[in-house]
A and B are shown apart, each in its own frame.
Chain A
């Protein structure tokens, strides 16, 4: 492996992981808000 392979691996992990965390938290928020709105309408 060249030095760039290690750099790409670290950046890939950092970018994909951060994007995954943001998506997970965003979807959990939207799901919770949708459930709360549905309950408010009852």
Chain B
């Protein structure tokens, strides 16, 4: 794992991977959304609004996967002191927050015609909103830590890493919220090894989830490359100022 700690080696892998993930992801999402809108049938109960599934479910998955990535990278940063782990955690925050917000927005749009309301304060929706606020808090903390580190006030990124780990407690709460509390939100339709979704809906959904995940991966790599460039700029400017 520490073989990738060298930024030059990491960048030589990240550059071609960014383009490959982005192009493949965009093609897969375009195919999935086309199939979802023009090919998949309307649902017996929800009608055409079921097509929102192909945006809402990948967004929900990536909102939670984003924080899981932050938690894993934070653990690696705290335990093994891997130099790129903190950068990976910070790079996952913006796309994670975006997909979390997209999940909340598309869920609200879907709720209006199916539940008759834009919002209810039940376990699933509230825990997802809490996740969005956690993202905002993490980004503010990581940004402040980076400024402190740049000013030579020590490795405050450990605080952000601890926040990333502690916040991970919300991810299983989101996942189990529809089981633990009464909710208008339907229970999980897909579990390991079985699915309650008809294949006509499942295929475009699978392609959309993989496609959006690849786009998420490409964005994380772009953010990591940006953060690495910023660190190198900072170091070079300090050397120029000292010379």
Contact residues of A with B, CB < 8 Å?
1, 3-4, 6-7, 9-11, 13-15, 17-18, 21-22, 25-26, 28-29, 32-33, 35-36, 39-40, 42
Chain B contacts to A: CB under 8 angstroms: 22, 29, 33, 37, 47-49, 51-52, 55-56, 59, 94-95, 98, 102, 105-106, 109-110, 112-113, 212, 215, 218-219, 222-223, 225-226, 229-230, 232-233, 236-237, 240
Cβ of A39 to closest chain B Cβ, rounded Å: 5
Additional A-B contact list (6), CB under 8 Å, known A10-B56, A42-B240: A11-B55, A13-B106, A15-B33, A18-B98, A21-B95, A25-B222
**For A10, what are the chain B residues with a Cβ–Cβ distance below 8 Å?**
52, 55-56, 105-106, 109-110
Q: Is the CB of A13 within 8 A of B112?
A: no
Contact between A14 and B229, CB atoms less than 8 A apart: no
- B225 pairs with A29, CB closer than 8 A: yes
CB pair A21 B219 closer than 8 Å: yes
Q: Is the CB of A17 within 8 A of B233?
A: no
| Chain A residues touching B, majority SS | helix
State which of B37, B49, B233 has its C-beta within 8 Å of the C-beta of A39: B233
Cα distance, A9 to B102, chains bound together (Å) = 12
Contacts of B240 in A (CB 8 A): 39, 42
